[in-house]
Amino acid sequence: MLSRLSRRTALTAAVLAGPVGWVTAAAWGLPTALGAHRGRLRRVVAGSPHFSDGKFHNTLPTPAIAPANTRDGLLRQWHDERHVGLPGGPIPLARPEIPRDAADLAVTWFGHASALLELDGQRVLFDPVWGRRVSPSPIIGPTRLHEPPMALDELPPVDAVVISHDHYDHLDLPTVRTLLRTQTAPWVVPLGIGEHLRSWGVPEERIVELDWDGEHRVGALTLTCTEARHFSGRYFHRDTTLWASWAVSGPRHRVFFGGDTGYTPAFAAIGARLGPFDVTLLPIGAYNDAWHAIHMDPEEAVRAHGDLGGNVLLPIHWATYNLAFHRWAEPVERLLAAARPRGIDVVVPQPGERTDVLDRPPLRDWWTPVGSAVAATAEGAGVGSAVLARVVSRLIALLPS
């Protein structure tokens, strides 16, 4: 009898070992990756005019998730259509060729929203994300569709690291830790994000937190925190830190970085006050009717570029992660179709490619040969596993209308 009980206990332990091990691995490092507790955030953010009732607010009413009556359709997409966003083949990378001395106006795009700006002899690094997953978990969450074009420790010294908001595809803990070791530049961030950085070991003297319309000087550059229409949160609590776009002004040139945003009339006011801009880096991907208010589609990016008084448009927030349900190449195809009749100058670099804006080459179509996946299994489509989709589905279903 004892032997039979022992065998049964051993069998039960063996059956449970797999799921328990998987959950343990998925949760490894989770508390640290989630960032600062909202109790710590309040002392930093409570004085902002955009903060009330325990959270930040957009100027316009902005639903961040689908209304209850559309969630079923969104969840069906999550399960059944996620593979649509995969590329049809390997994404070609360019080896970054970054000069020792920063140029007057150049941009190296590393994929998604990560970009290195050279402006009037100085360098600004935007939304650096080098991690394999944009998730708090090491084994669950969207994975890269291409490798980083270069190692972080190969980056030249930068004058500032600028963050748009605290979502995982824009603020990455492993990247922060590496930059803390390899760079000495200040982190210039929207209100509240400094608390994440402090909890990860970034020294106080390297953190600058700004509200919308706040400014910070770095050498000859002025970094202005400008309005965006989005939301924030690294899991449990939403909108406890501010989200932003950024204007960077030098003695001779000006650049606008959109980060991640829905279309907003605030772009026209930003253009009138801080523009016109020689280059706009604007998000064109991860759009869907369910979150139309917080992610621009390509046509809205063209409209925003005009509002801002932009000269050259460089699209970001596409190609690197499968975060929506549109085809992989669709954002850039739609962008060019919308920009062409308006005579807008668009540059579309490969991940890793450096564009000298003042001496740019002709537009080269590198995305059409890659194409978009027409049919593929959900496995490997960037969500980590079907288990995650089911869990998220249940959690979203429990949210209030």
The Cα 286–Cα 196 span in angstroms is: 25
Encoding tokens for residue 164?
């748009």
Average pLDDT over residues 235-263: 95
Record the tokens describing residue 236, joined without a space: 């449990």
Q: Which residue has the tokens 């809205």?
A: 300
Residues 194-238 have pLDDT tens digits of 999 999 999 999 999 999 999 999 999 999 999 999 999 987 789
Total-model pTM: 0.85
Tell which wins on pLDDT, 286 or 44. Answer: 286
Do the Cβ atoms of 78 and 132 come closer than 8 Å? no
| End-to-end CA gap in the chain | 55
The CATH number of the structural domain formed by 83-359 is 3.60.15.10
- Quick: pLDDT tens for 324-334: 989 999 999 99
In angstroms, rounded to a whole number, what is the distance separating the alpha carbons of residues 47 and 44?
Answer: 7
**What's the pLDDT score for residue 135?**
86
- Phi then psi for residue 356, to 5 deg, are -80, 105
Residue 396 CA to its chain's centroid (Å)? 22
Domain ranges of the chain: 83-359
pLDDT higher for 221 or 70? Answer: 221
Angle, alpha carbons 297-333-274 (nearest 5°): 50
Could you tell me where the beta strands, DSSP code E, fall in 318-390?
A: 345-346, 354-356
Alpha carbon distance 203, 190 (integer Å): 17
> Exposed e or buried b for every residue in 253-264, given b needs 16+ CB within 10 A?
bbbbbbbbbbbb
Q: What is the pLDDT of residues 96-121, one digit of tens each?
A: 999 999 999 999 999 999 999 999 99
Residue 137 pLDDT level (bands cut at 50, 70, 90)? confident
Poorest-confidence range of 13-22, 123-132, 218-227, 300-309? Answer: 13-22
User: In angstroms, rounded to a whole number, what is the distance separating the alpha carbons of residues 268 and 386?
Assistant: 42
Pick the range with the lowest mean pLDDT from 51-60, 151-160, 232-241, 331-340: 232-241
Please report the beta strands in 146-295, taking only residues with DSSP state E, as ranges in sequence order.
160-162, 187-190, 207-210, 215-218, 221-226, 245-249, 254-257, 277-283
Contact 114, 149 (CB under 8 A): no
The average confidence (pLDDT) of the chain is 85
pLDDT the model gives residue 144: 96
More confident residue, 20 or 235: 235
pLDDT at 263 over 80: yes
pLDDT tens-digit readout, 364-393: 999 999 999 854 333 333 333 333 433 443
When mean pLDDT is compared across 144-158, 180-194, 323-337, 373-387, the lowest value belongs to: 373-387
User: What is the per-residue pLDDT for 43?
Assistant: 78
